[in-house]
Structure 1
Amino acid sequence: MSGRIRNESLRSKVMTAGEAAALVQDGWTIGFSGFTGAGYPKEFPGALAARINAAHDAGEPFRVNVLTGASTAPELDGALARTGGVGIRAPYQSDPDMRSAINAGDADYLDIHLSHMGQQVRRGYFGRLNLAVVEVTAITEDGKLVPSSSVGMNRTYLDEADFIVLEVNEWQSEELLGMHDIFYDVGNLPPHRVPLPIRTASDRIGQPVFDVDPAKVVGIIETNSADRNTPFKPLDDDSKAIAGYLLEFLGDEVRKGRLPENLLPLQSGVGNIANAVLAGLAEGPFENLTSYTEVIQDGMVDLLDTGKLTVASATAFSLSPEYAERMNREAADYRSKIILRPQDVSNNPEAVRRLGVIACNGLIEADIYGNVNSTHIMGSRMQNGIGGSADFARNAYHSIFVTPSTAKRGAISCIVPMVSHVDHSEHSTSMFITEHGIADLRGLSPRKRSKVIIDNCAHPDFREPLREYVKLAEKKANGMHTPHDLASALGWHVRFLETGTMRP
């Protein structure tokens, strides 16, 4: 044994992944650890997929419902999706095979705000939670669980499941102990909910380990496998331009007295543009920054290293392989600067509103009146899901959405007359930024928003067609508050589906 299992009674429950998967029954609902490719179980999902395939080969029905914190990895989502044995998937995914199963109708997908997931599980919206499968770094002498590289939904799944399988992953650094802040908010469901006692991003309100009922632990699997850590693309000119506009805006807000010199806690979605913004902050004038967000990315680690960022609060890592190795090597140095919390704390809407978080998220498309589609391709095909973006955007001090102005090598305009699916309505967006500029929507009525968005954010090739649509809509609409020509509002999407381009 690895020496990571230090509790004598639990040590006797070590078994193979196959033996653990053999415990699962058809129709079970399983809560897996994992968030943005960090801290997911590495061995059990593959063994479960083999069990499902064997049952199907024998002509027996076998499906399971898969709940996680957020996205996981091909070893989990991909392996299970390829079996055809996933009944329900929630609350967020980003795996190509799982996406295909969802869009083919082979798996039901529940796209849920991440801050809502814990309450829904505890209230039984998914029925009985039969099993929790959670990766941990170690088990202490007194039977506590040291979390690994993500927290996500783990506390809730450990509490609510009938049975528990643990994966003790020796790859995860033991020096992560002390980085986590696990808040046990006993009685937090209505009508007994209490205020979340967080006043600043640096507040620690819980304990560094998970509690677990040892009687519910039916198996422990020892592993030594790395998280799925995807390298970020080199920063391109568009990402740098978008970051530049955002930093310019933040500086202007400071000069106008609307933001303090160290800004307000920052939230950043995952991706290349987010890392470009973080890189810009490292070179910019702002000091003593804080972050209250979902994930810790490479750029945030760099900001911590420069001293410009004093604390980063999140629920998981989302690091490149190089930075994941570095975090494992130097975890003790980051323990006082990084706090990993359950996702119903990291994404808590009341905390986001009260702290005044500056939210910056990506999108698939936005329309001329300020509505945002973050989840669906051409109205029907699910991409990944809403994740935690609305937890922040709806409640942020500044709700900023960033995107290149076009996609598919210019065939798609990311600024359209009407979005084909609405995730964030105009009431939750305060500004858009593309490589062409920034559209500050604060204080603007819909018709004024349309002019600012088209003039500042649309690609030059699509500006005139957008203006022509506005003229047509103003002639045909049954009202002038938000004029639309319903017959042609989604015409650009129809054109793309028929011809492969939105261009006239």
Structure 2
Amino acid sequence: MSERISCSVLQNKVMSAEQAATFIQAGDRVGMSGFTGAGCPKELPTAIAERAKAHHARGDEFRIDLWTGASTSPVVDGVLAEAHALNRRLPYASDPTLRRAINSGEVDYLDPHLSHSAQHMWFGFYGNLDVAVIEVAAILPDGRLVPSSSVGNNKTWLDQADKVIIEVNDWQPRAFEGFHDVYYKTALPPHRQPIPLTQVDQLIGEPYLRVDLDKVVAVVETHAPDRNSPFAPIDAASTAIGEHVVDFLRHEVAAGRMPASLLPIQSGVGNVANAVLAGLGNSEFNGLSAYTEVLQDGMLDLLDDGTLAFASATSFGLSDLGAERFNRDIEKYRGKLVLRAEEISNHPELIRRLGLICMNGMIEADIYGHVNSTHVMGSQMMNGIGGSGDFTRNAFLNMFLSPSTAKNGSISTIVPMASHVDHTEHDVMVIVTEQGLADLRGLSPRRRARVVIENCAHPDYKDALLDYVERAEKARPNALHTPHLLDEALSWHQRFVDTGTMQKQA
């Protein structure tokens, strides 16, 4: 790897992952690279897990706090959770093994907005960061680091950690140099200045990460691919949601509320998001831009066909085929996309200034427009809020997307009252299911209820929802702003917990 590690100081610190793991002690706070499955360390987590298992076998406690950019992959969250090596985790987690540990109470999970995670570290809210473990594509002679397939919170972890371990992964393209824009001119309150980014394709930083060479205790050589989940085929419900979104954007253009090339788009991750991107690709829209968190396969398609002119994110979120395609054709994407630090990709100031169209998934929405993005049946954590709150509250236009039912129809995603609220009615503008689209802008809660039920609820649940609203209005004539039957508001969720379906049994 001489061409990947060209700094003589750090060449002398190359060692095995097992040796490097000895620098991490029980109780340490560890910041790792990674956002989705992209850019995670590949060797150190397993070595730390084995170290934890050895301590546990001797009857010794060994757990660490783990902070990342967002979710990682089974080779990070999965192996560490399976080894019972985690005490506290933030800010986002999607691995099923870790999810079980969180919901069983074994792992304390913090779920801040992604735009808050780095700055809360700087503010000292979480305590001192002991170790940073960061994957890079290369180390330059002067010690600057070429980031790999995500940036996330890596800048903050490198700046804040007492010790740094670097994984140099030669699976990541060496040609990544020049694809990143890391902004180093942020300051703490009360000395903050405006961030000088006014266009999606503007570069305001530098293409490298910096590190204090004296803090680097180990360099580990790896050759391993990112572990991203394949996307399932887009189903009919997702396709219908995408069609509703594209039709609505046409309506907004015709109404003069946005230009024909739209405003910059932000899209969450998953099949519904990819269906929306596919719908845009099949539409008349072109010359679009994206300012988002994650670049999915669908955005590569839009870059290839010219629908998308430029994309800014903090990470890739590609399938294995998508990653192979990007790595093979990397040069054709140069100048068309950039990866930034998470504190910039998700920054409320920039989201509002650029005027984003933000589209994110949800677990459920209630009839008055409150959205639950995180908790199943009010208590079980699914993944976390991620960046959806950053984008929703500050968007020019926001939409929440989901099929109208889940679990083969046993769950309605439109409910009388959300069992957990991540996005309040004050923020939510549009709700979309395969049934239709509810534009909630300018509507009072009572008006919203009818629009949501009529346009978004599944036929199997529509009559029951309307009946709930009508009875609530009759029962509480002096509380008609947001009428609820308090003894029934969460009864649908309780019915599912008790019987396995939200539908009333005959």
TM-score class, shorter: over 0.9
Alignment of 1:123-202 (within 5 A): 123-186=123-186, 188-202=187-201
Residue 144 of structure 1 deviates from its aligned partner by 0.5
Counterpart of 1:442 in structure 2 is 441
Alignment of 1:220-235 (within 5 A): 220-235=219-234
Contact 1:176-1:335 within 8 A present in 2 as well: no
Contact 1:241-1:435 within 8 A present in 2 as well: yes
Contact 1:2-1:170 within 8 A present in 2 as well: no
Match for 2:345: what amino acid?
Answer: S
Counterpart of 2:287 in structure 1 is 288
Q: Does 1:100 align with 2:100?
A: yes
Distance 1:83 1:223 in 2: 22
Counterpart of 2:366 in structure 1 is 367
Distance 1:77 1:398 in 2: 34
Counterpart of 2:42 in structure 1 is 42
Residue 359 of structure 2 aligns to a residue whose secondary structure is: strand
Counterpart of 1:334 in structure 2 is 333
Counterpart of 1:456 in structure 2 is 455
Counterpart of 2:202 in structure 1 is 203
Alignment of 1:296-335 (within 5 A): 296-335=295-334
Residue 31 of structure 2 aligns to a residue whose secondary structure is: strand
Contact 2:73-2:228 within 8 A present in 1 as well: no
Q: Find runs of 4+ consecutive structure 1 residues off by over 4 angstroms.
A: none
Match for 1:349: what amino acid?
Answer: P
Contact 1:134-1:154 within 8 A present in 2 as well: yes
Residue 394 of structure 1 aligns to a residue whose secondary structure is: helix
Distance 2:85 2:132 in 1: 18
Counterpart of 1:113 in structure 2 is 113
Q: 327-336 or 163-172, which moves further after superposition?
A: 327-336
Distance 1:98 1:232 in 2: 21
Counterpart of 1:410 in structure 2 is 409
Q: Does 1:33 align with 2:38?
A: no
Contact 1:71-1:95 within 8 A present in 2 as well: yes
Match for 2:92: what amino acid?
Answer: Y
Contact 2:348-2:394 within 8 A present in 1 as well: yes
Distance 2:166 2:442 in 1: 51
Residue 394 of structure 2 aligns to a residue whose secondary structure is: coil
Distance 1:398 1:34 in 2: 29
Q: Does 1:395 align with 2:391?
A: no
Residue 426 of structure 2 aligns to a residue whose secondary structure is: helix
Contact 1:111-1:386 within 8 A present in 2 as well: yes
Query: Number of residues paired by the alignment?
Result: 503
Residue 476 of structure 1 deviates from its aligned partner by 2.8
Residue 33 of structure 1 deviates from its aligned partner by 0.2
Matched-pair identity in %: 56
Structure 1 unaligned blocks of 5 or more? none
Counterpart of 2:91 in structure 1 is 91
Q: Does 1:68 align with 2:68?
A: yes
Residue 85 of structure 1 deviates from its aligned partner by 2.4
Counterpart of 2:427 in structure 1 is 428
Residue 2 of structure 1 deviates from its aligned partner by 5.0
Counterpart of 1:217 in structure 2 is 216
Q: TM-score, normalised by structure 1?
A: 0.99
Match for 2:172: what amino acid?
Answer: Q
Structure 2 unaligned blocks of 5 or more? none
Distance 1:2 1:353 in 2: 44
- The alignment yields a C-alpha RMSD, in angstroms, of 0.8
Contact 1:2-1:222 within 8 A present in 2 as well: no
Counterpart of 2:19 in structure 1 is 19
Distance 2:297 2:84 in 1: 35
Match for 2:206: what amino acid?
Answer: Q
Match for 1:100: what amino acid?
Answer: R
